[in-house]
Each structure stands twice: as C-alpha cells, then as structure tokens.
Amino acid sequence: MNWQISKIDANGLLKAGRNLFQQGLRNTHNRLVMAGLFVGIVFLPFWLYDIIVGTIHGAASLLLVSALGLGLYQLWLQQGHLANLKASSEDRWLGHLIILAGLGATPFCAAAEWSQKLIWVMILCGIAISSWGFNFFPKYPASVFLIAVGLFPQPTTVGKAVWDTFTPPEILERFMAWCGGIGLNLIGQAASVDWTLISLPGGTARVDWGCSGYDLACIAAVTSLLMGLFFKQSFWKTSIIILIGIVLAMIANVPRIMLMTMANAYWGQESFEFWHGFWGGQIFLSILFTVHYYAVMAIVKQKPTKKIA
C-alpha cells in the first residue's frame, strides 16, 4: 500500500515536472520561475555534498533536511488548494522583481554556501509571491517555517555568533561547569570550579563551547518541533514539547560533563577521548532522545479536557 502511494507520488512528480518544463517557456512568469528554480538546481550538488560530509562528521544536517522535506511534503498535500491560489497583479510584479534581484545577485553570492542558500530563499519567496500571492505565507505558516528552517544556512554557527554577542562571556560554559561541579560533589567527589574549569584531585577539565549543551539543545528543539508538527499537535503543545526538549538536553549535559571530568582525572586520555568523541556523544544522544520520545508521547497521548457546558 505504501509502495503504491510512493509509486503514484513518484509518477505524479515526474508528470508535474514534465508539465512544468513544457510550460516553462510559455510566458514571462513561467520563464522567471524556471530561471529561479535553475539557480537552486545549480547549487544543489554543493549542498548535497555538504550534507553528506557534515553527516559523516556528526553534524545534524539530516535534521534540517527532514524539516525541509516535511515542509515540502505538507505543501505537496495542499497542491489542490495551491492550484486555486492566484497572485494579484501587484504580487506578481513584486514576485518578479524579487526573482530578478535574486538572479542578478546570484553571481556575487555563489562563493559561499550560506549566501547561496540565502539568495535561493529570496528567489523561492519571489516564486511563491508571484505564483500564489503574498497570502500564501500566512495561509501555510508551518510549511513556510519548516522550509525556512531547512534552508537556513549554518544554524549552529549563526546561533553561536548571536549567543556570544548578546550574552556575558562564556555564561553557558560557566553555568555547565558550576552544575557539573555540584553534581560531582553530590556523588562524593572533591570538585572545585573556577570559571569554566572543573578541578578534581586527579586533574582539571575545561568546559568548552562544544560541551556547553547549546548544540544539543538546538538539536532537541528542532527535533521537538518536527515531532510536534508530525503528530499534528497544537501550537501550545508543540511549544511545551520544544521546551521539554531544551530542558532535557541541558539536564542530560550535566552528567556528560561529570563523566568527562572523571574520565580526564582518573581513567586516562583514551577514556576521555571516547566519551568526548563521536561514540560518547551518540550514547548520550540515544539516552536523551529515548527519554525525550517518551515525554513527547506522554504529551501527545494526553486527551484534551472537554469543557462541560
């Protein structure tokens, strides 16, 4: 059954693609849309390469691809409604202007992945406005948001830059070191904390940005958002799920820091590298997402209370 659906969808996609190509050169609007889509097709191999390389090195690129896929899938399900949406003359003019500006800026933005993505997001906005009108955005906010998240360039780098700019120096690292120190003292270790350094009698470990839990919290937040949308939860429930994801990620990071400090102080370099590296990270992620999954499912299965009239 699933196979049949995917086969039909694949055929539908091919047919739609063929029709689009045939109609692509018929009028100015179609030509501009085709030119805009062509820019995305040209950049796509570079993005795919980055996704594959990033995923191999442990980046959460696939999560963003999932967000993009879910957003596009939701739009695909609305294709009947989309066909009925018509752009007004001013929207068409504005959309064409945005596409033309994007096409003009493409050669200057081709050097870096982030600028390629930004310019293509701009072109996509132009295509959407000129094809379906500006009302497309308030009408499909979830899809628009997911596609924007999926195409957002280097979210972790941007997130770190914004965090560093607007928060006191190393606040998250200091907070995590403080929590780790308290945790170690609770289990009977004589730990002392100085700024971002946690000292045990056997050695000292520094909580760096990578261990601050920020990346983990971001991944948990995006995963929570996707789960909330996938299970068709309300805005408030999705917000609660996201909040739980972030809090759980922060809490889960504390034992990770404690373990790494102890590994550094007592068990040697090899043990520290294991817990600090890919496999250690995966073990913690598995535990975190298992707990997170059950917490999300508990919220999802919770029936809404009915008001008695």
Partner 1 sequence: MAYVSASVPGKLDGSYSIKNICRVVGLVCVAGFIFDMLVLTLPPQFGVEWRIGVIQQFANRSIILLFGLALIIFGSQGNSTSRMRLMAKVSMGLGVLFFLLSLLSVVDSVRLSQRAVSNISTQESELQTQLRDAQANPEGLPDNVNLEDLTQFSQQLTAQADTLKKNAQRTVLKTGISNIGNLVLVGAGLLALGRGGMRLSRTKG
CA–CA separation, 124 vs 119, rounded Å? 9
> How would you list the strands of the sheet with 197-200, edge to edge?
192-194, 197-200, 203-206
197: part of which helix (H) or strand (E)? strand 197-200
- x/- site string to partner 1, residues 158 to 177, per CB under 8 A? ---xx-xx---x--------
105 part of the interface to partner 1, by CB under 8 A:
yes
Residue type, 137: F
Identified binder of partner 1 from the candidate list 32, 39, 75, 94, rule CB under 8 A: 94
As measured in angstroms, the least distance from the Cβ of 173 to partner 1 is 13
Q: Report if residue 304 touches partner 1, rule: CB under 8 A.
A: no
* Least CB distance to partner 1 at residue 127 (A): 14
Among 60, 64, 87, 119, binds partner 1 (CB under 8 A): 119
Minimum Å gap between C-beta 279 and partner 1 is 31
Report in angstroms the alpha-carbon separations of 266 from 79, 83, 186, 271: 60, 65, 18, 9
- Interaction residues for partner 1, span 31-90 (CB under 8 A): 88-90
Interior/surface letters 183-193, b for 16+ CB within 10 angstroms, e for the rest: bbeeeebebeb
Q: Which stretch binds partner 1 (CB under 8 A): 4-12, 116-124, 254-262, 265-273?
A: 116-124
In total, the chain counts a number of residues equal to 309
Q: Quote the CA–CA distance of 84 and 67 in Å, as a whole number.
A: 26
The residue count for binding partner 1 (CB under 8 A) is: 22
* Nearest to 30, CA basis, from 85, 95, 80: 95
Give 65 or 101: the residue with its C-beta nearer to partner 1.
Answer: 101
Could you give phi then psi for residue 305, rounded to 5 degrees?
Answer: -75, 130
* Residue 134 binding partner 1, by CB under 8 A: yes
Dist. CA 124–CA 80, nearest whole Å: 20
Contacting residue, 30, 74, 115, 135, with partner 1 by CB under 8 A: 115
Query: Is residue 194 near partner 1 by the rule CB under 8 A?
Result: no
Nearer to partner 1, 87 or 252 (CB): 87
Pick one of 34, 65, 68, 101: the residue that binds partner 1 (CB under 8 A): 101
Q: Hey, which residues does 199 pair with through a beta bridge? A: 192, 204
Residue ranges binding partner 1 (CB under 8 A): 88-91, 93-94, 97-98, 101, 105, 109, 114-115, 118-119, 122, 134, 161-162, 164-165, 169
